[in-house]
């Protein structure tokens, strides 16, 4: 299309990059450009250094800039960059990764459906659940229950399931057979199943520790109780381990900490530490059986880059690092140290609580009076910390901290101090 005389394409200095979850009016000329990164350090285009206290978007579990991943990726790219795994096509990295991930899973005879990310995986798991019930002769089991405060990605089904109201506003009809129950209230799940009738409920989905909804660990006994309720009513239990997996909670899928054996687990993020996009669904042998053991039942679902050979090679190299460096055990040590350091902030007037202690993820809850006085305060706190060289995440009513699992606990006091200084400034 020709532009009228005198008009340029986009105002000068404006970015053409439309940022997710961003007020583009504010960001259009004021981007924070990350130029390079090394382990827990991130550098901007001016060469200023920042401590990455969020592992980017909760994913960079092995730290940035690892040569081992670059080398594995280069080797795979030059051998076979990718080839579709639709139908009977396969490739060695995707097969090996699926085998390895099935082996880590706390379910018997697990199968792994690979995707390109977390949202893909949630939508895939729900479609597996509904198809599973159709194959069982129960096509009316279509309702999925999630929780208030949950986040399950921004694809169609995940948007409809999500428990953060602002993310669902305007899209409530996208996945109509969804409802949400209060978090940490097992009786509420039972009541909702009873209200709907168990014969209409396909699945219940829950993050072991709620992440994007503000870092909310489960109350003691809660996850075991909801798993038991799902079993009692024959409802499939889907654990969304997109944040909680691959070391963030000190185990492969997070759920092992409570001895859970979900029917499905969704994962992404830490499986590659974000070096390349990849996610997936682990399904128990029982869930996979109607598809695997009966002829003529293809699961009519899948993305172009499912089983992408180079993404799978990156995941394998990432898992090698996690095993070689014992990052799961390391995370269990770090979680206590991080939580203990951040607890110092409970003495601050602007802080109501520090949540965490289960996994290397914590949140500092800001006092409601402070939030009411200035609705933009979280953004200001984030910027004040960034000016002091520490990257933290503003999250609904709190500040989230979830560093790479390679971080030295020496930095936890520094992160705490920077947050305290930011609180004093703002």
Q: Compute the least distance from the CB of residue 379 to ligand PLP, in Å.
A: 19
Query: Residue 180 — left, alpha, or beta (φ > 0 → left; ψ -120 to 50 → alpha)?
Result: beta
Specify the long-range contacts of residues 191-194, CB closer than 8 Å, at least 24 apart. 192/145, 193/145, 193/229, 193/233, 193/235
93 binds ligand PLP (CB under 6 A): no
Q: What are phi and psi of 192, to 5 degrees?
A: -70, -40
Contacts of 69 (CB under 8 A, 6+ apart): 62, 273, 275, 314, 317, 318, 321
* First-to-last C-alpha distance (Å) of the chain: 47
Q: Which of 98, 122, 265, 370 binds ligand PLP (CB under 6 A)?
A: 122
268 binds ligand PLP (CB under 6 A): yes
Q: What are phi and psi of 115, to 5 degrees?
A: -135, -170
How far is it, in rounded angstroms, from Cα 381 to Cα 261?
A: 40
147 binds ligand PLP (CB under 6 A): no
How far is it, in rounded angstroms, from Cα 94 to Cα 80?
A: 12
Q: Compute the least distance from the CB of residue 190 to ligand PLP, in Å.
A: 23
Query: Which of 335/370 has CB closer to ligand PLP?
Result: 335
Stretch that binds ligand PLP, among 116-124, 226-234, 312-320, 410-418 (CB under 6 A): 116-124
Q: Compute the least distance from the CB of residue 266 to ligand PLP, in Å.
A: 6
**HSE (side-chain half, CA atoms, 13 Å) at 338:** 29
Query: Which of 59/104 has CB closer to ligand PLP?
Result: 59
How far is it, in rounded angstroms, from Cα 51 to Cα 59?
A: 15
Q: Compute the least distance from the CB of residue 393 to ligand PLP, in Å.
A: 11
Q: Compute the least distance from the CB of residue 152 to ligand PLP, in Å.
A: 5
Query: Which of 190/248 has CB closer to ligand PLP?
Result: 248
Q: Which of 243, 249, 327, 328 binds ligand PLP (CB under 6 A)?
A: 243
385 binds ligand PLP (CB under 6 A): no
What's the token pair of residue 422?
A: 């930011």
Stretch that binds ligand PLP, among 139-147, 236-244, 307-315, 330-338 (CB under 6 A): 236-244
* C-beta neighbour count of 88 within 10 angstroms: 5
Q: Which of 132, 151, 204, 275 binds ligand PLP (CB under 6 A)?
A: 151
Q: Which of 145, 242, 358, 423 binds ligand PLP (CB under 6 A)?
A: 242
DSSP conformation class of 269: G
50 binds ligand PLP (CB under 6 A): no
Chain centroid to CA 75: how far? Answer: 28
Stretch that binds ligand PLP, among 100-108, 149-157, 290-298, 350-358 (CB under 6 A): 149-157
106 binds ligand PLP (CB under 6 A): no
Q: What are phi and psi of 402, to 5 degrees?
A: -155, 70
Using CB under 6 A as the binding rule, the residues of this chain from 165 to 204 that contact ligand PLP are: none
302 binds ligand PLP (CB under 6 A): no
Site residues, ligand PLP (CB under 6 A): 117-119, 122, 151-153, 207, 211-212, 240, 242-243, 268, 279
């Amino acid at each position: 299309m020709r532009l009228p005389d005198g008009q340029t394409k986009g105002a000068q200095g404006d970015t053409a990059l439309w940022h997710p979850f961003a007020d583009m009016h504010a960001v259009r000329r004021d981007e924070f450009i990350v130029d390079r990164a090394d382990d827990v350090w991130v550098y901007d285009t001016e060469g200023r250094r920042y401590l990455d206290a969020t592992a980017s978007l909760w994913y960079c579990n092995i730290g940035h800039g690892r040569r081992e991943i670059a080398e594995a990726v280069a080797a795979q790219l030059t051998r076979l960059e990718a080839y579709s795994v639709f139908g009977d096509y396969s490739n060695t990295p995707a097969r090996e990764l699926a085998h390895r991930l099935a082996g880590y899973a706390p379910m018997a005879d697990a199968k792994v459906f690979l995707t390109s990310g977390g949202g893909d995986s949630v939508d895939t798991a729900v479609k597996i659940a509904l198809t599973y019930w159709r194959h069982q002769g129960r096509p009316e089991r279509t309702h999925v229950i999630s929780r208030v405060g949950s986040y399950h990605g921004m694809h169609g089904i995940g948007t409809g399931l999500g428990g953060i109201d602002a993310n669902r506003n305007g899209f409530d009809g996208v996945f109509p057979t969804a409802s949400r129950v209060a978090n940490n209230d097992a009786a509420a799940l039972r009541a909702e199943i009873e209200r709907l009738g168990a014969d209409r409920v396909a699945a219940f989905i829950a993050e072991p520790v709620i992440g994007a909804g503000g870092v909310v660990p489960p109350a003691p006994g809660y996850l075991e109780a909801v798993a038991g309720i799902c079993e009692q009513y024959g409802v499939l239990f889907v654990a969304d381990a997109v944040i909680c997996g691959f070391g963030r909670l000190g185990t492969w899928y997070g759920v092992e900490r409570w001895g859970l054996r979900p029917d499905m687990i969704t994962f992404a993020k830490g499986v590659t530490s974000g070096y390349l996009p990849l996610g997936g669904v682990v399904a128990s042998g029982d869930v996979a059986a109607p598809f695997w053991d009966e002829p003529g039942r293809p699961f009519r679902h899948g993305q172009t880059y499912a089983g992408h050979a180079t993404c799978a090679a990156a995941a394998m190299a990432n898992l090698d690092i996690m095993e070689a460096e014992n990052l799961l055990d390391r995370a269990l040590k770090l979680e206590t140290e991080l939580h203990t350091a951040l607890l110092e902030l409970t003495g601050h007037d602007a802080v109501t609580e520090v949540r965490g202690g289960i996994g290397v993820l914590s949140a500092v809850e800001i006092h409601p009076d402070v939030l009411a006085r200035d609705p933009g305060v979280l953004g200001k706190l984030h910027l004040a910390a960034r000016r002091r060289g520490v990257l933290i995440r503003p999250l609904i009513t709190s500040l989230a901290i979830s560093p790479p699992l390679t971080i030295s606990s020496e930095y936890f006091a520094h992160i705490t101090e920077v947050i305290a200084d930011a609180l004093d400034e703002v």
